[in-house]
């Protein structure tokens, strides 16, 4: 990911919705070395922020709604969350959670593209988003898995104005040419339970070492460490509660 700080249209935060926040905090401490801080305000509902050193990089929340899956949600920055939600609706997507305030920090909404891949939008006030990006232990890449690549390009180009670039056979997303993510097909995931979704990849110093810790700490390797042709070394993991994430070698993305 060539973007190293939150900016409009780019990934700015990633949040884990999980059935066991406390267990997740222990797991991700073992895998990434994150330390967890729980927001003590009753209205925060147990919101837990993960940090690398002093830098906030991600968060975890309890599951708020019946049927909500345990999963990571990628958040994109926007200057006007209401306008973005309207654009999503007008472009065939869905508004899953209407725009609302989060204390003095900012304003957010949860949205979905026409194929059903969910993502969040963040309009910053006092909190811009992740304080570390594209460094070991932080968000380094995001990838859309979809069954209709052509429709996805049309949708995201319209609502965010992303640049779209072919990297061999792989499509990459960018803001003004600074790539931050890509797109694969659902079929490429080789699992029957896969639906369209956004997947975060975290940058790590050693894919092999991190993958081993992820498995030894109770996770499951869905993809063993693999060298992508003309790309980075990656792996894919399912955590003990069922959330899937990727890891990639820091400094070798896009």
Supply 65's token pair.
């709604």
Mean pLDDT of the chain: 92
Give me the residues paired with residue 167 across strands.
170
pLDDT reading at 229 higher than 90: no
> What's the CATH superfamily of 11-124?
2,3-Dihydroxybiphenyl 1,2-Dioxygenase, domain 1 (3.10.180.10)
Identify the residue whose tokens are 């599951």: 63
Contact 12, 75 (CB under 8 A): yes
Q: How far is CA 77 from the centre of its chain?
A: 12
Give me the residues paired with residue 174 across strands.
163, 179
Note the pLDDT of residue 13: 97
pLDDT top residue among 189 and 123: 123
Contact 70, 243 (CB under 8 A): yes
One-character DSSP codes across 185-233: EGGGG--TT--SEEEEEEEES-HHHHHHHHHHTT-EEEEEEEEPTTS-E
| Confidence label for 188 from pLDDT (cuts 50, 70 and 90) | low
Q: Which of 83, 121, 117, 74 is nearest to 102 (CA)?
A: 121
Ranges for all domains in the chain classified under CATH 3.10.180.10: 11-124, 139-249
Percentage of residues in the chain with pLDDT exceeding 70?
A: 95
22 membership: H or E segment, kind and range:
helix 21-32
- Paired sense of beta strands 118-124 and 178-185, if any: unpaired
Average pLDDT over residues 202-230: 96
Average pLDDT over residues 98-125: 96
> Pseudo-torsion of CA 220, 73, 28, 179, nearest 10°?
90
Contact 253, 230 (CB under 8 A): no
| Confidence label for 253 from pLDDT (cuts 50, 70 and 90) | low
One-character DSSP codes across 62-106: E--STTPPPEEEEEEE-S-HHHHHHHHHHTT-EEEEEEEEETTTE
pLDDT reading at 117 higher than 70: yes
pLDDT top residue among 186 and 220: 220
Of 39-53, 63-77, 80-94, least confident by mean pLDDT is 39-53
Other Cβ atoms less than 10 A from the Cβ of 60: the count is 26
Q: How far is CA 218 from CA 21, 211, 241, in A?
A: 15, 11, 9
Note the pLDDT of residue 46: 80
130: left (phi over 0), alpha (psi -120 to 50) or beta: beta
CATH architecture of 139-249: Roll (3.10)
pLDDT top residue among 254 and 137: 137
pLDDT reading at 251 higher than 80: no
């Amino acid at each position: 990911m060539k973007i190293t700080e939150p900016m409009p249209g780019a990934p700015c935060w990633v949040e884990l919705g999980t059935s066991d926040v406390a267990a997740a905090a222990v797991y991700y401490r073992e895998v990434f070395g994150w330390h967890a801080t729980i927001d003590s305000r009753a209205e925060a509902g147990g919101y837990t922020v993960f940090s690398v050193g002093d830098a906030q990089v991600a968060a975890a929340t309890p599951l708020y709604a019946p049927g909500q899956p345990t999963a990571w949600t990628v958040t994109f920055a926007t200057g006007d969350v209401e306008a973005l939600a309207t654009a999503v609706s007008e472009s065939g997507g869905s508004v899953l959670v209407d725009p609302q305030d989060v204390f003095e920090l900012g304003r957010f909404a949860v949205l979905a593209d026409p194929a059903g891949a969910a993502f969040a939008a963040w309009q910053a006030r006092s909190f811009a988003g992740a304080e570390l990006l594209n460094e070991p232990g932080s968000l380094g890449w995001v990838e859309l898995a979809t069954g209709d690549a052509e429709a996805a390009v049309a949708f995201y180009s319209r609502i965010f104005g992303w640049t779209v670039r072919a990297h061999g056979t792989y499509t990459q997303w960018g803001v003004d040419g600074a790539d931050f993510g890509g797109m694969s097909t659902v079929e490429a995931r080789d699992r029957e339970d896969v639906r369209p979704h956004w997947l975060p990849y975290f940058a790590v110093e050693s894919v092999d070492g991190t993958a081993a810790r992820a498995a030894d700490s109770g996770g499951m390797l869905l993809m063993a460490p693999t060298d992508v042709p003309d790309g980075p070394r990656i792996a894919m993991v399912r955590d003990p509660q069922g959330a899937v994430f990727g890891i990639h070698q820091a400094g070798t993305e896009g």
